């Protein structure tokens, strides 16, 4: 796969044609568990499942959603409701949810990748899901992190200052592969699609931004403590009926 990506770069193939050729190359190279779902799991999730499964190290900055591979079922169902309200479903809800739960099992497999995310605090407070669902999601994520040392969640507080450059304009994901022939990949989240970046200079710019976000985020221990505190507060609020 790395040789193909290098060839496309040398030939200066870019944009949608690059994405199409890379997709065809990946599909020809192997078939993964996600292929049985076809388009029913959604094109974005299918791409994420492919990259996660083959990566040695995944890093993400989640500005507008919880990490897809760390979501509990009630939270996934709540996201489907939000999609339905916007009439933006490009997947079959039940199949999508099943595939997302499978992604988590694959992430936790013995030879799965290391996974680190910087979670923007605003996601917890601004995403329009019920309080009890957000509490369940936070507790699920905490339990997953405590169970598997390869998975790390760092919270970027709303008042954290990020020195050394401009703020990221959207969520993005970085994938590093074990094989030296497979260059790293950056996926940039937009409203309508995911942008696939493979040119070394572009990936390096996103890596530099990620490193600055990581430096500004809470430590892993403080992040877990903060998430637990918020989950308990949401649970108390739900129990009191307020």
Q: What is the 3-state secondary structure (H, E, C) of 152-176?
A: EEEEECCCCCCCCCCCCCCCEEEEE
Kindly state whether residue 116 falls inside one of the protein's structural domains. yes
Q: What would the two tokens of residue 188 be? A: 């940039």
On whether the CB atoms of residues 19 and 29 are closer than 8 A, the answer is: no
Least confident of 11-15, 69-73, 172-176, 196-200: 11-15
* pTM for this prediction: 0.84
Provide the pLDDT for residue 181: 74
Looking at the DSSP bridge assignments, the partners of residue 159 are none
Q: What's the half-sphere exposure (Cβ side, CA atoms, 13 Å) at 205?
A: 12
Kindly state whether residue 13 falls inside one of the protein's structural domains. no
Kindly state whether residue 145 falls inside one of the protein's structural domains. yes
Sheet holding 194-197, edge to edge: 151-156, 114-120, 57-62, 172-176, 185-189, 194-197
Least confident of 12-16, 27-31, 184-188, 195-199: 27-31
> In the structure, what pLDDT confidence band is assigned to residue 17 with cuts at 50, 70 and 90?
low
Q: What is the CATH number of the domain that holds 211?
A: 3.30.870
Looking at the DSSP bridge assignments, the partners of residue 4 are none
Domain count, the chain: 1
Kindly state whether residue 159 falls inside one of the protein's structural domains. yes
Kindly state whether residue 233 falls inside one of the protein's structural domains. yes
Provide the pLDDT for residue 79: 95
- Per the structure, the complete domain to which residue 127 belongs is given by 31-240
Provide the pLDDT for residue 6: 61
Nearest to 219 by CA among 165, 145, 164: 145
Dmax over CA atoms of the chain, in Å, equals 63
Provide the pLDDT for residue 200: 92
Kindly state whether residue 15 falls inside one of the protein's structural domains. no
Could you give the CA distance from residue 17 to residue 20 in angstroms, rounded to a whole number?
A: 5
Kindly state whether residue 25 falls inside one of the protein's structural domains. no
Kindly state whether residue 11 falls inside one of the protein's structural domains. no
């Amino acid at each position: 796969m790395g040789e193909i990506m290098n060839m496309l770069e040398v030939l200066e193939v870019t944009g949608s044609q690059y994405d199409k050729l890379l997709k065809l190359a990946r599909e020809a190279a192997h078939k993964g568990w996600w292929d049985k779902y076809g388009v029913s799991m959604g094109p974005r999730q299918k791409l994420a499942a492919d990259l996660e499964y083959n990566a040695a190290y995944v890093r993400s900055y989640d500005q507008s959603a919880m990490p897809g591979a760390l979501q509990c079922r009630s939270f996934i169902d709540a996201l489907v409701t939000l999609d339905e309200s916007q009439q933006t479903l490009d997947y079959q809800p039940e199949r999508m949810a099943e595939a997302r739960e499978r992604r988590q099992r694959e992430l936790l497999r013995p030879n799965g990748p290391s996974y680190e995310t910087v979670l923007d605090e605003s996601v917890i407070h601004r995403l329009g899901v019920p309080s009890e669902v957000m509490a369940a999601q936070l507790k699920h994520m905490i339990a997953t992190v405590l169970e598997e040392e390869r998975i790390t969640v760092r919270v970027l507080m709303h008042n954290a200052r990020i020195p050394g450059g401009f703020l990221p304009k959207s969520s993005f994901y970085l994938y590093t592969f074990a094989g030296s022939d497979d260059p790293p990949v950056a996926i940039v989240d937009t409203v309508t699609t995911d942008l696939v970046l493979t040119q070394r200079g572009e990936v390096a710019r996103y890596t530099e931004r990620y490193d600055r976000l990581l430096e500004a985020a809470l430590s892993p221990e403080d992040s877990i403590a903060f998430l637990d505190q918020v989950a308990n507060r949401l649970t108390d609020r739900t129990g009191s009926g307020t």
